[in-house]
């Protein structure tokens, strides 16, 4: 079965960086886009961007341009999300998610059936 | 960006009752690329509906989605105890992907 296993909780000071990992198993890692979302405490969901694990190509939400970097290591089927210059309002649970359908389909399927368990990032001085 | 407004904010119902949740978009959602998710405390969201009306794998048929353009609805025909949760809509017809603020379905 599909599994996305994320790295553990992090506590960071304002201005620092955090790098969250997402190890995929149960499917062909390079066959599906991976997106990153976040959810601040008691709030809704915010889309951060996606990575194409096959090519390494990325697309970031404008709100995170210049602060986020998404990468992958195909040898270990793992995607990474690094967020820089952290602020207190970056405190949130960060999720990696897999698109519903493989890249080989022509339809747009940027909705998400498979989710990581989430990584809590706390930014506090 | 497309803003999704969900209503009501909270729905107080009893098991066995019908729940009707609304998601309104600030502009038309391309190709009705609209999804619905359920989230329980401490858990990741679960995809219920995609493409406005297609049920995701393993989702019971008491969940149904409908709508087009700017107005979408999620109906839970008969609430089961496990259905009390927060529900989010999401549009993926245009970038950036956006989510609604959620509707909490609570037990009366």
Average pLDDT value for chain A: 96
In this structure, how many other beta carbons lie within 10 angstroms of the beta carbon of residue B87?
25
Average pLDDT over residues A105-124: 91
pLDDT at A66 over 80: yes
Task: Say how far apart CA A50 and CA B90 lie, in whole Å.
Answer: 16
Q: For strands A10-12 and A119-123, give the pairing.
A: parallel
Instruction: Please state, for a pLDDT cut of 90, what percent of chain B lies above it.
Output: 100
Asked if residue B29 has a cis previous peptide bond (ω within 30° of 0), the answer is no
Alpha carbons A102 and B27: distance in angstroms, whole number: 28
**CA of B36: which chain A residue's CA is closest?**
A111
Backbone angles phi, psi at A61, to 5 degrees: -65, 145
Chain A contact present for B65, CB below 8 A? no
Residues A74, A15: Cα–Cα separation, whole Å: 30
Contact B88 A113 (CB under 8 A): no
| Cβ-based contacts under 8 A for chains A and B | 50
**Angstroms from B42 CA to nearest CA on chain A:** 9
CA distance B48 to chain A (A): 8
For residues B79-107, give the mean pLDDT: 96
Structure confidence by residue, pLDDT tens digits, A33-44: 999 999 999 899
Distances (CA, A) of B100 to A70, A89, B8: 25, 19, 12
Dihedral, CA of residue B15, residue B18, residue B19 and residue B23, to nearest 10: 160
Q: Is A82 exposed, middle or buried (0-12, 13-18, 19+ CB in 10 A)?
A: middle
Q: How far is B37 from chain A (nearest CA, A)?
A: 9
Q: Which of A9, A40, A110, A119 would you mutate first to test chain B, the one with the most B CBs within 10 A?
A: A110
């Amino acid at each position: 079965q599909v599994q996305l296993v994320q790295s553990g909780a992090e506590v960071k000071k304002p201005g620092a960086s955090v790098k969250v990992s997402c190890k995929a198993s149960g499917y062909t890692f390079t066959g599906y886009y991976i997106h990153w979302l976040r959810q601040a405490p008691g709030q809704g969901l915010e889309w951060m961007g996606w990575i194409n694990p096959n090519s390494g190509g990325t697309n970031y939400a404008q709100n995170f341009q210049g602060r986020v970097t998404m990468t992958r290591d195909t040898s270990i089927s793992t995607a990474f999300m690094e967020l820089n210059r952290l602020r207190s309002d970056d405190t949130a649970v960060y999720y990696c998610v897999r698109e519903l359908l493989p890249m080989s389909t022509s339809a747009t399927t940027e909705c998400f059936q498979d989710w990581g368990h989430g990584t809590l990032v706390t930014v506090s001085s | 960006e497309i803003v999704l407004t969900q209503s009501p904010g909270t729905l107080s119902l009893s098991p066995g009752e019908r729940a009707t949740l609304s998601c309104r978009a600030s502009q038309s959602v391309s190709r009705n690329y609209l999804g619905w998710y359920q989230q329980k405390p401490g858990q990741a969201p679960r995809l219920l509906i995609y493409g406005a009306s297609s049920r995701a794998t393993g989702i019971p048929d008491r969940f149904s989605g409908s709508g087009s353009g700017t107005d979408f609805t999620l109906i839970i025909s008969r609430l089961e105890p496990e259905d009390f949760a927060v529900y989010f809509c999401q549009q993926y017809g245009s970038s950036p992907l956006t989510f609604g603020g959620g509707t909490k379905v609570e037990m009366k």
